[in-house]
């Protein structure tokens, strides 16, 4: 798979810190116009290529929360969600479905968010991914006109 704008755009602004925008209270979304535009271009490239191989009605983009979107860091701040809205906008531009699983997972985790992530990490453990899969399966069952072959 070739995404022509990925390397050029990605490395043009990458500062090296993966969480550099996640929890800075001084930044406004308006301050991140360039970064969000690069991400949007990358999503456009990805979806353009994907739609060459898969019918748009068979594509579902799923966004999910990292741990600090649901529980605060030690200083009490939650991470801002910059990715979800950008993915939703790209999905709309390309006529594909988008599902933000955050609210369903918040319910499934029932106040025990940390139990579904690796200790000292922001990523799901196997139970977190299991809950995500179940939520996606429920969505599919509720919205599908035909069964998946």
Q: pLDDT for 44-97, tens place per residue?
A: 999 999 999 999 999 999 999 888 888 877 777 777 777 888 999 999 999 999
Angle at 62 between CA 56 and CA 66, to 5 degrees: 160
Rounded Cα–Cα distance for residues 90 and 97 (Å): 10
Closest CA to 143 of 44, 63, 60: 60
- pLDDT at residue number 40: 93
How far is Cα 80 from Cα 35, in angstroms, rounded to an integer?
Answer: 15
Q: Is the dihedral of CA 131, 53, 8, 81 positive or negative?
A: negative
pLDDT greater at residue 27 or residue 98: 98
Max CA-CA distance within the chain? 49
C-alpha span between 118 and 102 (Å, rounded): 17
Taking only the tens place, the pLDDT of each residue in 3-34 is: 555 445 544 544 545 456 666 667 777 877 88
Which H/E stretch holds residue 62? strand 60-63
């Amino acid at each position: 798979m070739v995404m022509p704008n990925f390397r050029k755009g990605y490395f043009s602004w990458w500062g090296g810190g993966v969480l550099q925008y996640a929890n800075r209270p001084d930044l406004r979304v308006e301050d991140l116009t360039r970064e969000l535009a690069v991400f949007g271009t990358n999503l456009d490239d990805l979806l353009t290529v994907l739609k060459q191989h898969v019918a748009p009605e068979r594509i579902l983009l799923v966004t999910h929360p990292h741990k600090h979107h649901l529980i605060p860091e030690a200083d009490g701040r939650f991470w801002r969600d910059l990715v979800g809205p950008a993915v939703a906008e790209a999905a709309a531009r390309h006529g594909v479905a988008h599902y933000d699983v955050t609210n369903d997972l918040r319910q499934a985790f029932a106040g025990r968010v940390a139990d579904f992530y690796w200790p000292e990490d922001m990523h799901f453990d196997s139970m977190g991914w299991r809950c995500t899969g179940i939520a996606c399966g429920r969505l599919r069952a509720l919205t599908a006109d035909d069964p998946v072959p």
